[in-house]
Amino acid sequence: MEKDRIDWIEKAAVENFKAHQSATEAIEKQCTTTLTVFFAGIGGGLAYGAKALELHHWTWLSIGTLTFTAYIVVLAGLLICGCMTIGEYPQLHNEPGNLLNVPSQYSFEQIRVFELENMQSRIQQAIDRNVKISDRLNWIRLAAIASPLIFIASAGCSAALGA
């Protein structure tokens, strides 16, 4: 393979990888924003629940609110554990030690081609990671849409049972 072509492919690969890193950062920001919204809901629900506990006055509304809050706490936990934990992320370039230990029988051009194949593998790892985390985030957000139904169901059951 000619040198100019390898240079061009390397440059394109680096730009492609950087685009996936940017996507990772955008997904992380979306996770943080979602968690902030969850914390606001949890704070409001706990404040209302504390008031009911202090007054020893449990109504359908306070039971529904605490059930809603517990549901949001579970979603926040899933978000943190499934989307926001620190994990291994593929690196843009190979480690120097690996590149120095390539057998001398390979030409520099061959080594560059091998490294491009490795880079493609790392790009695919970044894609797979982004897809996995964004899918989880989307499912957690969809589950959050059901939170009013959780409130209605628990408040309704509580009212029917006379709380």
Query: Per-residue pLDDT tens for 38-86?
Result: 999 999 999 998 988 888 888 999 999 999 999 999 999 999 999 999 8
pLDDT exceeds 70 at position 163: no
Backbone angles phi, psi at 86, to 5 degrees: -70, 130
**Radius of gyration over every alpha carbon of the chain, rounded to an integer in angstroms:** 25
Structure tokens, 12 = 């394109």
Q: Give CA torsion, residues 11, 14, 19, 25, to 10 deg.
A: -150
Q: Cβ(64)–Cβ(154) under 8 Å? A: yes
Q: What is the number of helices (H) and of strands (E) in the chain?
A: 5, 0
Query: Per-residue pLDDT tens for 9-33?
Result: 999 999 999 999 999 999 999 999 9
Show me where the domains of the chain are located.
Answer: 3-160
Long-range contacts of 87-93 (CB under 8 A, 24+ apart): 87/129, 89/24, 89/126, 89/129, 90/122, 90/123, 90/125, 90/126, 90/129, 91/122, 92/14, 92/17, 92/18, 92/21, 92/119, 92/122, 93/119
Q: Give the pLDDT mean for 142-157.
A: 94
Q: Give the pLDDT mean for 102-129.
A: 92
Sequence-distant (≥ 6) Cβ neighbours of residue 133 within 8 angstroms? 27, 31, 82, 83
